[in-house]
Amino acid sequence: MKFIHIADIHLGAKSGRERKKAMDSYSWQAFSDVIRKAGEEQVQILLIAGDLFHRQPLVRELKEVNYQFSRIPQTQVVLMAGNRDYLAPESCYRTFPWGENVHFLKQEHMDYVELEGMDTRVYGFSYYHKEITEPLYQNIKVKKDGFCNILLAHGGDEKHVPFRSNDFVQCDFDYVALGHVHKPVEIVKNKVVMAGALQPIEFSDTGEHGCFLGEIKEHKCTVEFIPLHYCEYVPLNLKVSPEIGQSALKEFITARLRVAPEYQKFKITLSGFCDEEHPVDAEELKKMDRVVQVVDKCRADYDFEKLKLKYGQQILGRYIRTLEEMPQNEVTKKALYYGVEALMAE
């Protein structure tokens, strides 16, 4: 039996900012791509482990999602509400008429859906609140009758159904399809898998994102991670020195971007020392195409002789002289820089 496991698609995560809007469109594209793959690979089950939406879904959005599911009538879709798209009293999830191949685990307590002709049950429940602090995934009783049993679950931190990977090592499930943490990871190889966000949602969601394609044969499961390349955030750490000017820095970044695939976007962190009079213009770097974030941790490279002449009798000049008279090591060197920086700021 073949399946695809996804989680944390976070559809509708856009805010007013252009970049967020672009991110939402990546998520819709990746979602539609998963549907296409499910059809091509003829998977029998599509597992969606919560947070399909970033917030309460609109009826219009559910219609679009349901239309996507209707493209794969041979695949049974099983989904649950996560902490983001929890079943609020006014949630459209409660009354939405899903297609025949869609099974929503709508109960607040552990339940299961039996998939016809497949000898398979998918266990799970939905969030009715933004937080669930009870460890509800512990000691789940599974019917033992030769059926294939899958758990669909969302959470893992202290406010979202806390669990430890150990809770699942001894469990009777053939596969545990997890969601909530955005980084994909096989907690127990081929058995307990955190799908990760389908595409990155925050800039901190670095690395590859995608879906897991799995197969269960005679209660033995194997999974394979399939990356989806619509967007990937890549950290880029650049060490600056006073000799490197703004244009050289920009040229370097441009060259680095040119050799990277188009879907990669960069989070730049600048460190080292920059010219005191011509510091790096981080704002300008931020405007570059495919640069999503610039964190400037550069320190100014001070000309202490010049500063002593200029601020000789003032506290700054006295501070520099005092530190220069002390035994020179890494600590005094750092103290000199940090102190001058603090005093210059005043």
Which of residues 153 and 320 has its CB atom nearest to Mn ion in the complex?
A: 153
Which of residues 183 and 250 has its CB atom nearest to Mn ion in the complex?
A: 183
Choose among 305, 307, 251, 244: nearest CA to 271. 244
With CB atoms as reference, the residue minimizing the distance to Mn ion is: 180
Which of residues 27 and 83 has its CB atom nearest to Mn ion in the complex?
A: 83
Q: Phi and psi for 160 in degrees, rounded to 5? A: -135, 85
| Least Å from the CB of residue 232 to Mn ion | 20
| Least Å from the CB of residue 4 to Mn ion | 19
End-to-end CA distance of the chain: 68
Q: Tell me, what DSSP letter sits at residue 203?
A: T
Using DSSP, state whether 173 is helix, strand or coil: coil
| Least Å from the CB of residue 210 to Mn ion | 18
| Least Å from the CB of residue 159 to Mn ion | 10
Contacts with Mn ion, residue ranges (CB under 5 A):
51, 82-83, 180
195/217 Cα distance (integer angstroms): 20
| CA separation, residue 2 to residues 120, 145, 338 (Å) | 12, 20, 59
Which of residues 212 and 266 has its CB atom nearest to Mn ion in the complex?
A: 212
The count of residues in the chain is 346
Q: H/E/C letters for each residue in 132-145? A: ECCCCCCCCCCCCC
Look-up of token digits 């266990």: 123
| CA separation, residue 196 to residues 185, 193, 199 (Å) | 7, 9, 8
Which of residues 33 and 51 has its CB atom nearest to Mn ion in the complex?
A: 51
In the structure encoding, which two tokens stand for residue 151, read together? 């758990």
| Least Å from the CB of residue 180 to Mn ion | 4
Q: Give the β-pairing of 210-217 and 2-6.
A: antiparallel
| Least Å from the CB of residue 166 to Mn ion | 21
- Helices in 260-313 by DSSP H: which ranges? 282-286, 304-310
Which of residues 103 and 180 has its CB atom nearest to Mn ion in the complex?
A: 180
**H or E element, residue 271:** strand 264-275
Which of residues 68 and 83 has its CB atom nearest to Mn ion in the complex?
A: 83
| Least Å from the CB of residue 198 to Mn ion | 12
